[in-house]
A and B are shown apart, each in its own frame.
Chain A
Amino acid sequence: MSGRIVPILMPKWGLSMKQGTLSSWLVEEGSEISPGDEIMDVETDKIANALEATDGGLLRKRVGMAGETYPVRALLGVLAPPSVPDSEIDAYVASFTAPVVEEADDEEPVRLFLDLPVGRIRYAERPGDGIPVLLVHGFGGDLDNWLFNIDALAEAGSVVALDLPGHGQSVKSVAAPSLTTMTDAVIGLMDSLGVARAHLVGHSMGGLVAGRIGIDRPDRVASITLIAAAGLGEEINGAYLDGFVSASSRRDLKPALAHLFADQGLVNRSMVEDVLKYKRLDGVGAFLEALRGTLFPGDRQATDIADDLAGIGCPCHAIWGAEDAIIPAAHAGAVEGATVIDGAGHMVQMEKAAEVNRLILSWTSS
Chain B
Amino acid sequence: MARTLSMKDAINEALDQEMGRDPTVVVLGEDIVGGTGSPGEDDAWGGAMGVTKGLIHKHPGQLIDTPLSESAYIGAAIGAATCGLRPVAELMFVDFMGVCLDQIFNQAAKFRYMFGGKAETPVVIRATCGAGFRAAAQHSQMLTPIFTHIPGLKVVCPSNAYDTKGLLIQSIRDNDPVIFLEHKNLYDRETDVPEESYAIPFGEASIAREGTDVTIVTYGMMVPYSLEASETLKREGIDVEVIDLRTLSPIDLDTVFESVEMTGRLVCVDEANPRCSIASDVAAAVAQEAFGSLKGPVAMVTAPHAPVPFSSALEDLYIPSPERIADGVRQTMGERSS
Direct chain A–B contact by Cβ atoms under 8 Å: yes
Residues of A participating in the B interface, judged by any CB pair closer than 8 Å: 15-16, 106-107, 110, 169, 172, 248-251, 269, 273, 277, 280-282
User: With A280-B198, A280-B199, A282-B198 in contact, do A249 and B2 touch (Cβ < 8 Å)?
Assistant: no
CB within 8 Å for A106 and B1 given contacts A269-B207, A269-B210, A280-B166: yes
Is B200 part of the binding interface, using a Cβ–Cβ cutoff of 8 Å? yes
Residue of B with least CB distance to A45: B210
Would you list the 7 A-B pairs with minimal beta carbon distance, nearest first? A280-B198, A282-B197, A281-B198, A281-B196, A249-B204, A248-B201, A269-B207
Q: Which residue of B lies closest to A252 (CB)?
A: B204
CA separation between A16 and B196, bound complex, in Å? 19
> What residue in chain B is nearest A279 (Cβ atoms)?
B198
Chain B hits for A251, CB < 8 A: 204, 254-255
Asked if A16 and B194 sit within 8 Å, CB to CB, the answer is no
| B248-305 residues at the A interface, CB under 8 angstroms | 254-255
Q: State whether B204 touches A277 (Cβ < 8 A).
A: no
B17 to chain A, nearest CB (A): 9
B158-196: contact bitstring with A at CB < 8 Å (1 yes, 0 no)?
Answer: 000010001000000000000000000000000000101
**Chain B residues, Cβ within 8 Å of A250:** 204, 207
Contacts of A106 in B (CB 8 A): 1
Contacts of A16 in B (CB 8 A): 1-2
- B109 CB to closest chain A CB, in angstroms? 26
Cross-chain contact A107 with B1 (CB below 8 angstroms): yes
Q: How far is the CA of A249 from the CA of B197 in the complex (A)?
A: 18
Contacts of A110 in B (CB 8 A): 1-2
Bound-state Cα–Cα, A280 to B199, Å: 6
List B residues at the A interface (Cβ < 8 Å): 1-2, 162, 166, 194, 196-201, 204, 206-207, 210, 254-255
Contact pick for B196, options A15, A248, A273, A282, CB 8 Å:
A282
**Can you name the residue of chain A whose Cβ is closest to the Cβ of B258?**
A251
Chain A hits for B207, CB < 8 A? 250, 269
Distance, CA A277 to CA B193, complexed state (A): 10
Measured in the bound complex, the distance between the Cα atoms of B1 and A110 in whole Å is 6
When distances are taken between beta carbons in the complex, the residues of chain A under 8 Å from B204 are 249-251
Contact B1 A172 (CB under 8 A): no
Contacts of B210 in A (CB 8 A): 269
CA distance A72 to B147 in the complex (A): 46
- A171 vs chain B, min Cβ distance (A): 10
How far, in angstroms, from A113 to B207 measured CA to CA in the complex? 32
Q: List 30 contacting pairs A-B, 8 Å CB cutoff, sorted by A.
A: A15-B1, A16-B2, A107-B1, A110-B1, A110-B2, A169-B194, A172-B196, A248-B201, A249-B201, A249-B204, A250-B204, A250-B207, A251-B204, A251-B254, A269-B207, A273-B206, A277-B162, A277-B194, A277-B198, A280-B166, A280-B199, A280-B200, A280-B201, A281-B194, A281-B197, A281-B198, A282-B196, A282-B197, A282-B198, A282-B199
Chain B residues, CB < 8 A from A249? 201, 204
Complex: how many Å from CA A15 to CA B192? 14
Smallest CB-CB separation from B21: which chain A residue? A282
Q: How far is A169 from B196 in the complex, measured between Cα atoms in Å?
A: 9
A107: B residues at CB distance < 8 A: 1
Q: In the complex the two chains form, what is the Cα distance from A110 to B192 in whole Å?
A: 14
In Å, the complex CA distance between A172 and B206 comes to 25
Which chain A residue shows the least CB distance to B205? A250
Chain B residues with CB under 8 A of A282: 196-199
> How long is the Cα–Cα vector from A316 to B198 in the complex, in angstroms?
40
A251–B201 Cα gap in the complex (Å)? 13
Chain A hits for B198, CB < 8 A: 277, 280-282
Besides A16-B2, A277-B194, A282-B196, 14 other A-B contacts (C-beta < 8 A) = A15-B1, A16-B1, A106-B1, A169-B194, A172-B196, A250-B204, A251-B255, A269-B210, A273-B206, A277-B162, A280-B166, A280-B199, A280-B200, A282-B198
- Min Cβ gap B299→A in Å is 24
Complex Cα distance, B62 from A71, in Å, reads 48
| Most chain B CB inside 10 Å of its own CB: which residue of A106, A169, A277, A280 | A280
Measured in the bound complex, the distance between the Cα atoms of B162 and A269 in whole Å is 16
Bound-state CA distance A275–B95 (Å) is 38
Question: How close is A319's CB to chain B, nearest CB, in angstroms?
Answer: 30
Report how far A309 CA is from B96 CA in the complex, Å.
Answer: 70
Least CB distance, A232 to chain B, in whole angstroms: 34
CA distance A209 to B327 in the complex (A): 56
Report the minimum CB–CB distance from B18 to chain A (whole Å): 10
Shortest Cβ distance from A13 into chain B, in angstroms? 15
Minimum CB distance partner of A273 in chain B: B206
Give the residues in chain A near B1, CB-CB below 8 Å: 15-16, 106-107, 110
Residue of B with least CB distance to A15: B1
Docked Cα-Cα span, A15 to B1, in Å, equals 7
Closest A residue to B17 by CB, please name it: A282
CA distance A247 to B198 in the complex (A): 15
